[in-house]
Amino acid sequence: KMFASIANVDFDGVLINASGVHCQTSSELDELLNDEYVAAPVTKSATLNSRDGNPKPSYFEFKDGSINSMGLPNNGFEYYLNYVESHRNNKPIILSIASLSQEECIELLHKVQASDFNGITELNLSCPNVIGKPQVAYDFEATDKILSEVFSFFKKPLGIKLPPYFDLTHFDQIAAVLNQYPLSHVNSVNSIGNGLLVDLATEAPVIKPKGGFGGVGGHNILPTALANVRAFRLRLNQNIKIIGTGGVKTAEDVFAHILCGADLVSIGTELNKQGISLFKDLNEGLIKIMHDKGYNSVDEFRNGLKDI
Ligand code: DHB
């Protein structure tokens, strides 16, 4: 009833974790792998070398939202490659990679290409939290250049994680770039970059790095996330699938993402808040909505947004 496929990979279910949440260590990944309501674990975006991340506090939750400037804390690329290579008989795992330069990105993808991992890799072009490093996917020329080099040698399924866009012409421009390449998927959206939240009592920002600036996530960004999923579904080649990320708190939100065109739906802030029991609740909630509406399968309403 609830299936999805991206490239040559079939998913049993539609719910996954958003990269960054509950996926830095092998024990966290094991928990996702062993949860029947998780269609696929996604690994924490990996850099070539392990990183401690930014000074703390670097994460803060507020009503229906979160702000973070984690700074890519991760155990290093080899750790995650080893994890995905040694868990190939179970469900799919999405390997997320990030990098601090184009050279590092190319080096990492050469390593994936040479490895035994044949699943889906996701290149994160949208991390807002490394000091001095821009969100690559806001630079359409740089994105084109990197993808052109990547696809000259990378032959395995590859998707990209994108930041939110807010202008319809930007959607046209980035989609025109992406449609030139055999991407498995786009994952949309990353957090809304560089928000700022202040604590009235201390008169200081709620997080320490970057003067308090950080990526905003959680239920409050649902309209931006749905708009991005919809805008991409209307513009991208149909063989480029969409992972809808952003704002999901309830089963209604999952339904809305799929209606707008998402193949899989990922959950970050709310997963961090509730823990992995959230996946069972959202799954059961989605089944109930589908039953009430008379749908037997997600395919019956995916990308089915109607005219008002
Ligand atoms: C981090 C945040 C992101 O939004 C992202 O895409 C990658 C890394 C971080 O701060 O760790």
Ligand 1 in contact with 162 (CB < 6 A)? no
Give the residue whose CA is nearest to atom 2 of ligand 1: 127
Tokens read off for 56: 């703390």
Give the residue whose CA is nearest to atom 6 of ligand 1: 127
Instruction: Measure 45 CA to ligand 1 centroid, in angstroms.
Output: 7
| CA pair distance 263, 229, nearest whole angstrom | 10
Ligand 1 in contact with 124 (CB < 6 A)? yes
Instruction: Measure 247 CA to ligand 1 centroid, in angstroms.
Output: 16
Strand partners for 15: 265
Q: Strand 192-196 vs strand 198-199: parallel, antiparallel, or unpaired?
A: unpaired
Local confidence pLDDT in tens for the 308 residues of the chain: 789 999 999 999 999 999 999 999 999 999 999 999 999 999 999 999 999 999 999 999 999 999 999 999 999 999 999 999 999 888 999 999 999 999 999 999 999 999 999 999 999 999 999 988 899 999 999 999 999 999 999 999 999 999 999 999 999 999 999 999 999 999 999 999 999 999 999 999 999 999 999 999 999 999 999 999 999 999 999 999 999 999 999 999 999 999 999 999 999 999 999 999 999 999 999 999 999 999 999 999 999 999 99
Ordered domains of the chain (ranges, CATH): 3-54+72-194+219-300 (3.20.20.70)
**Distant-in-sequence contacts of 48-51, Cβ < 8 A, 24+ apart:** 48/76, 48/77, 48/99, 48/104, 48/107, 48/108, 49/76, 49/77, 50/74, 50/75, 50/76, 50/79, 51/76
Give the residue whose CA is nearest to atom 1 of ligand 1: 72
The catalytic residue positions are 126-127
Q: Give the pLDDT confidence score for residue 131 in this predicted structure.
A: 87
Q: Give the pLDDT confidence score for residue 1 in this predicted structure.
A: 74
Q: Give the pLDDT confidence score for residue 89 in this predicted structure.
A: 80
Q: ipTM value, please give it.
A: 0.96
Give the residue whose CA is nearest to atom 5 of ligand 1: 127
Ligand 1 in contact with 96 (CB < 6 A)? no
Ligand 1 in contact with 147 (CB < 6 A)? no
What's the angle, vertex CA 151, arms to CA 149 and CA 152, rounded to 5? 65
Instruction: Measure 127 CA to ligand 1 centroid, in angstroms.
Output: 5
